[in-house]
Chain A
Amino acid sequence: MARMKFICDAERCIECNGCVTACKNEHEVPWGVNRRRVVTMNDGVPGERSISVACMHCSDAPCMAVCPVDCFYKTDEGVVLHDKDLCIGCGYCFYACPFGAPQFPQAGAFGLRGKMDKCTYCSGGPEENNSAEEFRKYGRNRLAEGKLPACAEMCSTKALLAGDAEVITKIYKTRVVTRGKGEEIWGWSMAYGGSGKLADQPGGRA
């Protein structure tokens, strides 16, 4: 079974926000909710680098660990999803997540939050695949259509890679080797932990 991951190649990301609007377009995410955003470090000075960040679909996801109603679940493909029918909008996951992935649509009176919304890796939620109900709550389900997430598919420089960890690790690794640099900024180890050696990576072979 494939293990779906994202990785963003900081040597290629040009902060064009194509991934951000691809996501908005595909899922019709409302104003104010950003399932994906581009973060820039050293903005405007030498060493400036950008990376596109969304839910990283962690191997050991802290959001899952802290959720008081246990609304998170993980698919066979390693995608971390949640059930909005269960979510109580408490926001614990927001504090637990190191990537700022969980989003809360409305901040009402008395700090009331709406139901959490986050990147689904374009694979919907617990409802029937590609049903209207699934779309209403979670957006489109591209994986069920045999497609990869819209953000990565449309990335302007192919910086954002999505797919089976084994495949995208190889692509990324080839680039790092060709360039002779790049991993130190936002390599696999930075994104998902571990030694960063190919052999130690998900599905990696030395």
Chain B
Amino acid sequence: MMLTRKTEGRAERANPLARAMSALSAKTVDRRTFLKGSGLTAGAAAFASQLPLGFVGEATAATAAGTGKMERKRTVCTHCSVGCAVDAYVQDGVWVRQEPVFDSPLNLGAHCAKGASVREHGMTEHSHRLKTPMKLVDGKYRKISWEQAINEIGDKLLALRKESGPDSVFWIGSSKFSNEQAYMYRKFVSMFGTNNMDHQARICHSTTVAGVANTWGYGAMTNSYNDLQNSKAIFFIGSNAAEAHPVSMLHALHAKETGAKMIVVDPRYTRTASKADQFIRMRSGGDIPMLFGMLYHIFKNGWEDQKYINDRVFGMEKVREDIMKKWTPDKVFEACGVPEAEVYKAAETMAKNRPSTVVWCMGQTQHSIGNAMVRASCILQLALGNVGRSGGGTNIYRGHDNVQGATDVGPNPDSLPGYYGLVAGSWKHWCRVWGVEYDWMKSRFVSQAMMEKPGMTLSRWIDGVTEKNELIDQDSNLRAIVYWGHAPNSQTRGLDMKVAMEKVDLMLIVDPYPSASAVMPDRKDGVYLLPAATQFETSGSCTASNRSIQWREKVVEPLFESKPDHTIMYAFAKKFGFEKEFVKNIKLVKDKQGWDEPVIEDITREFNRGLWTIGMTGQSPERLKAHMRNMDAFDAKTLRCTKSVVDKETGYDMNGDFFGLPWPCYGNAQLKHPGSPNLYDNSKHVMDGGGNFRANFGIAREGVSLLAEDGSHSMGADITTGYPEFDHVLLKKLGWWSELTEEEAKEAEGKNWKTDLSGGIQRVVMKNHGCHPFGNAKARAVVWNFPDPIPQHREPIYSNRPDLVAKYPTHEDKKAFWRLPTLYKTAQQKAITDKVHEKYPIVLTSGRLVEYEGGGEETRSNPWLAELQQDNFVEINPKDAEARGIKYWDYVWVSSPTGARIKVRALVTQRVGEGVSWIPFHFAGWWQGKDLLEKYPDGAAPIVRGESVNTATTYGYDSVTMMQETKTTLCQIERA
């Protein structure tokens, strides 16, 4: 089906070959038998000049000459978390060619459609980029100068801050920032005086981060894409890696070819499913019944790893009792639609082919019980003893290229960089790193209480604008919204969002493209668009899903009038009057237009001094750059450099390092920790990237120890029992304090492994004693601080099964949850009372297309990608289509319980089951049937526009993280 959906007669002119090409290194061989110099050819050449139709491009004389030196710049694709390296060739400042990097251990030169097309970012002719600052004047975007933009926007924000307090502005940051920019954005918004900030992770893996971190320590992918090669069974649930992370399939298919069994559980028969040994079609939202149904068979047959559970897991017995009682095969079938034999087969495959791994993605996270679903996956892996093992683990595929990094160090409403949280001690730690006074920092906020109160979330900012003031947990409603590198069409409840966008005093959009934010609201004024540079126009580090950190070189100078994000942040910091505090430890350089740009490497060094919790302290810019220059030193299966390889530029020897120093890479760079390829792997020494589960939840619960059992510890540890996390007291008790240097001891006094800026505690504990600074404890199968300590199935807010809602109702409403009242039972009951499922009988779920990323504005503006997907569509089962008189590729209206109606093509396919529909989420630019082309700034509309599925999606939020429920809602479909 997805050949090339080409519409007739809308041929766009290709980017003419303005930048051309002189031969790279021409190893020219005359291989041809054809005789060129024949008279016939010469004659035809004249004819051809009148008929240029057949030529691929038009080279201009100037470019054909190609006099400039060809330079290679190594960067990383910006479209997903696999981290595919790209070699960009630049001539005379123009990105003229793109070559694969076969040496990259992550992607071995491979690219999907997006990665193979990134050079388009550097093309300036026919570019659909936002080229200059713009201001909405009387309903039209007008060009303004940067100076005017910074002044006008700055004045407005300062006025709002004065009138309504700093919490009246909501700052959405980007998961496409580099680590350095994401970190600076957290600092920037903090200095503005609010925690009202968020980014993509909220709506992508927030439930994973919370659920997984609360289970065993860190909320990240435990192993790596490469490590799939060591798996004997791979279980995908809610992940369509073939479209969302195509290059990861390089490793998965390799594993499959060497005998690994592949299982895909999904409501759709995805492209990933077509490669599986077993495909299980599950009811959308039925993850917990499915996973616990498997555990039922695992426990029943004694397939669990009893020693592992005894040594390393807390609460499994309670979970087991719950499962054996509640998730008998009949109940499993009822709740998730999967027959016993299928569930049994999957359980048996996972149990008998260990190490086996679980992969999940948005299909599991984007639910109102997402936090519980991901924990059910964790429990499956704990029962099988798969976590902390190569080939096992929970391989959680992150989305954007640096969403992992932005989650680790960036604009999170509930935490300072490094998951330090927002308590006073955390603020003091970061103030020390930033070189500012804690009291000054506090003075920037309304109060200490607001400084320590998590902000609103990306998924709910619209309610922060429109909710009654007395019901929200801050003084003022939101009055301004900043979309800094984020698409609005990836958030649910489009109709409500439009209202919120029209109500705020100010909308600020900072992005390389105008994004749907520029056109969604019907406003006359109060909207500003600022052109940001892409990651190819700056340098910095980014964290792939496997926690490997890669350094991007700047490929070209910022195009048009765009500026890198950190330069724009600094300009605003200056306007707001905190520029000195903002860059206390960071030098400034002048860019070509004379703007002050904070030096990226200085930012890296600053966060290296503070990110002890997650071990982002050892990845100095020098080490990261050395890795990028010597990728061939690292093995594609283990990611390790196993011999002495010395970087020519720095003299740094990579021997023993894992590629990209996957965090945690503890201690400072001098400690030379190699990074941790697989988390919690106790078969290795901590200085070899080994570890164990984290002691983060106390040392005992209800009289039961939470520490690991005797004999369970990372290889070679001096302490062979479980132990708590290290601080100055424990170090002294153990008699290890004297091993600190004098300087370290001075700094470490009164500190713990997370706050000792000298790194001495980590050094002594790890290097001298082989212990883990965060302790050695058990993973928690029961997370007692969550709404459902043992994961419970609960029906989505909009369920198609009232009978199941009666059995598995959702949570009680919450009053002040991330500063907002949040409905659960009320909304679910109303849907049942109103018989919504009768009017909207089809389950609506959404997902990815390989050609596009996220909200899609960037990729839909790339002609090489846009040509491949020119219309948004809904996948509908042939039976449902027939019942509605719908034929293939007809226009249909998809309506939802919100009252929204979106017009898309009908893709009639058995890919979706009966009663289920699926719409990709990358489209925007249409609004309920109308093309918004005229609302875009001139020349900056994406090539392909379409209806956004999220215009129609409904209410529903995770009970821990406010993740939006996109994967299970209801709709009706009719012929347009």
Q: Which residue numbers of A lie inside 8 Å of B, CB to CB?
A: 11-12, 14-22, 24-34, 37-40, 43-50, 73-77, 81, 83-87, 89, 105-106, 108, 113-117, 123, 126-127, 129-130, 132-133, 135-140, 143-147, 150, 153-158, 175, 178-179
Query: Which residues from chain B sit less than 8 Å from chain A, CB to CB?
Result: 1-4, 6, 11-17, 20-34, 36, 40-41, 44-45, 47-48, 51, 53-59, 63-64, 66, 97-100, 102, 108-117, 119-120, 242-243, 246-247, 249-250, 253, 257-258, 269, 271-272, 274-275, 279, 850-851, 863-865, 867-868, 875, 909-911
B292 smallest CB distance to A (angstroms): 27
Q: Please pick, from B13, B250, B875, B911, the residue contacting A156 in the complex, using a CB distance under 8 A.
A: B250
- CA separation between A84 and B41, bound complex, in Å? 9
The smallest C-beta distance from A113 to any residue of chain B, in angstroms, reads 8
Chain B residues near A136: list those with CB within 8 A: 17, 55-59
CB–CB A20/B27 < 8 A: no
| Closest chain B CB from A174 CB (angstroms) | 10
B269 touches A76 (CB 8 A): no
Known contacts A21-B116, A144-B29: A30-B13 contact under CB 8 Å = yes
For residue B81, give the distance in angstroms from its CB to the closest CB of chain A.
15
Cross-chain contact A129 with B28 (CB below 8 angstroms): yes
> Are A24 and B864 in touch, CB under 8 angstroms?
yes
For B53, list chain A residues within 8 Å (CB). Answer: 89, 105-106, 108, 113-115
Q: List 30 A-B contacts (CB under 8 A).
A: A14-B246, A14-B249, A14-B271, A14-B272, A19-B116, A20-B868, A21-B114, A46-B279, A48-B271, A73-B32, A73-B34, A75-B32, A83-B34, A84-B54, A85-B47, A86-B41, A105-B54, A114-B53, A115-B51, A115-B54, A129-B28, A130-B21, A132-B59, A135-B57, A139-B56, A143-B31, A153-B100, A156-B249, A157-B247, A157-B250
Q: Is the CB of A29 within 8 A of B47?
A: no
CB distance from B401 to the nearest CB of A (A): 16
**A145/B32 contact (C-beta < 8 A), A49-B274, A156-B246 known:** no
B269: chain A residues within 8 A (beta carbon)? 44-46, 48
Shortest Cβ distance from residue A21 to the other chain B in the assembled complex, whole angstroms: 4
B31→A77 contact, CB < 8 A: yes
Asked if residues B113 and A20 are in contact (CB atoms below 8 Å), the reply is yes
Query: Shortest CB–CB separation between residue B478 and chain A, in angstroms?
Result: 40
**Contact between chains at B12 and A154 (CB < 8 Å):** no
- Distance between Cα atoms of A32 and B32 in the complex (Å): 29
With contact pairs A14-B242, A85-B47 given, residues A73 and B33 touching in the complex (Cβ less than 8 Å): yes
Best-surrounded residue of B40, B53, B269 (most CB of chain A within 10 A): B53
Chain B residues lying within 8 Å of A108, measured Cβ to Cβ, are 53
Q: What A residues does B30 contact at CB under 8 A?
A: 129
Q: Do A85 and B32 have beta carbons less than 8 Å apart?
A: no
Interface centre among B36, B112, B275 (most CB of A within 10 A): B112
Q: Which residues of the other chain, B, contact A135 by a CB distance below 8 angstroms?
A: 17, 20-21, 56-57, 59
* Complex contact A32–B11 (CB within 8 A): yes
**Which applies to chain B's interface (DSSP): helix, strand, loop or mixed?**
loop
Q: Are B32 and A18 touching (Cβ within 8 A)?
A: no
- On whether the beta carbons of B56 and A18 are closer than 8 Å, the reply is no
Nearest CB in chain B: distance from A119 CB, A:
12
Are B1 and A43 interface neighbours, CB within 8 A? yes
Closest to B863 in A: A31
- Determine the distance from Cα of A135 to Cα of B250 in the docked complex, in whole angstroms: 32
Residues of A within 8 A of B911 (CB): 43-45
- The 9 nearest A-B residue pairs measured at CB: A115-B54, A114-B53, A132-B64, A30-B14, A44-B911, A17-B113, A130-B23, A85-B44, A22-B116
- Rounded to whole Å, the gap between the CB of A28 and the closest CB of chain B is 5
Q: Which A residues are in CB contact (< 8 Å) with B4?
A: 20, 34, 37
Cα(A25)–Cα(B4), bound, Å: 17
The CA of A157 and the CA of B249, in the complex, are separated in Å by: 6
Q: Which residues of B contact A40 (CB under 8 A)?
A: 1-3
Known contacts A24-B863, A114-B51, A156-B246; 10 additional CB pairs below 8 A are: A14-B246, A21-B864, A24-B864, A24-B867, A43-B2, A75-B32, A84-B48, A87-B54, A105-B53, A136-B59
Q: Which residues of A contact B21 (CB under 8 A)?
A: 130, 132, 135, 140
Report the Cα distance A33→B33, complex, angstroms.
Answer: 27
Choose among B36, B54, B274 the residue with the greatest number of A CB atoms under 10 Å from its CB: B54
Contacts A45-B910, A126-B34 given: A115-B27 contact, CB under 8 Å?
no
Are A156 and B41 interface neighbours, CB within 8 A? no
Nearest chain B residue, comparing its CB with the CB of A117: B54
How far, in angstroms, from A108 to B51 measured CA to CA in the complex?
12
CB distance from B881 to the nearest CB of A (A): 13
Given A24-B117, A137-B55, do A74 and B33 touch, yes or no (CB 8 Å)?
yes
Residues of B within 8 A of A139 (CB): 56
Residue of A nearest to B912 (CB): A44
Q: For residue A151, which residue of chain B has the nearest CB? A: B116
Nearest-CB residue, chain A, relative to B45:
A85
CB distance from B570 to the nearest CB of A (A): 34
Most buried by B among A28, A47, A115: A28
Secondary structure class of chain A's binding surface, majority of residues: loop
Most buried by B among A105, A113, A135: A135
Of B16, B110, B271, B867, the residue contacting A18 (CB under 8 A) is B110
Q: Are B51 and A28 within 8 A (Cβ)? A: no
Contact partner, A25, options B3, B24, B120, B275, Cβ 8 Å: B120
* A14 lies within 8 A of B275 (CB): yes
By the criterion CB–CB under 8 Å, are A126 and B23 in contact?
no
Q: Tell which of A22, A46, A81 has the most Cβ of chain B within 10 Å.
A: A22
Once the chains bind, are B257 and A179 in contact (CB under 8 Å)? yes
Q: Is the CB of B31 within 8 A of A76?
A: yes
**CA gap between A41 and B106 in the complex, in Å:** 30
Check A18–B112 contact: CB distance below 8 A: yes
> Given that A14-B242, A18-B115 are known contacts, is A30 also in contact with B57, CB under 8 Å in the complex?
yes
Task: Give the docked Cα–Cα distance between A19 and B246 (Å).
Answer: 12
For A28, what are the chain B residues with a Cβ–Cβ distance below 8 Å? 14-17, 56-57
- Cβ of B56 and Cβ of A154 under 8 Å apart? no
Contacting pair B116 A25 (CB below 8 A): yes
Query: A178: which B residues are within 8 A, CB to CB?
Result: 257-258
Cβ A44 vs Cβ B17 within 8 A: no
**Cα of A157 to Cα of B247 in the assembled complex, Å:** 6
How many whole Å from A201's CB to the nearest CB in chain B?
Answer: 21
> A26 CA to B120 CA in the complex, in Å?
11
A30 contact set on B, CB distance < 8 A: 11, 13-14, 56-57
Are A15 and B271 interface neighbours, CB within 8 A?
Answer: yes
Residues of chain B within 8 A (CB-CB) of A123 are 31
Task: Please determine whether B41 and A126 come into contact, CB atoms closer than 8 angstroms.
Answer: yes
Beta-carbon contact of A157 and B110 below 8 Å: yes
Residue ID in chain A nearest B877 by CB atoms = A44
Q: Select one of B36, B56, B242, B253 contacting A16, CB under 8 A.
A: B242
Given the complex, which residues of A lie within 8 Å of B3, measured CB to CB? Answer: 37-40
Q: How far is the CA of A20 from the CA of B21 in the complex (A)?
A: 21
CB distance from A146 to the nearest CB of B (A): 4
Give chain B residues whose Cβ lies under 8 Å from the Cβ of A84: 48, 54-55
Residues of B contacting A116 with CB < 8 Å? 54
What residues of chain B lie closer than 8 Å to A144, measured between beta carbons? 23, 26-29
Which chain B positions have C-beta within 8 A of A130?
21-23, 26, 28
| B253 touching A157, Cβ below 8 Å | yes
B119: chain A residues at CB < 8 Å are 25
State in angstroms the CA–CA spacing of A39 and B56 once bound together: 23
Q: How far is the CA of A150 from the CA of B98 in the complex (A)?
A: 9
B26 contact set on A, CB distance < 8 A:
129-130, 144-145
CB-CB < 8 A to B54: which residues of A? 84, 87, 89, 105, 114-117, 137
Closest to B47 in A: A85
Cα–Cα, bound, A9→B11 (Å): 32
CA distance A39 to B13 in the complex (A): 25
**Chain B residues, Cβ within 8 Å of A38:** 2-3
A32 B243 Cβ-Cβ under 8 A: no
- Say how far A73's CB is from chain B's closest CB, in angstroms: 4
The complex places the Cα of A153 from the Cα of B115 at a distance, in Å, of 12
Provide the residues of chain A in CB contact with B22, threshold 8 Å: 130
Q: Shortest beta-carbon distance, A66 to chain B, in Å?
A: 18
Chain A residues whose CB sits within 8 angstroms of the CB of B33 once the complex forms: 73-76
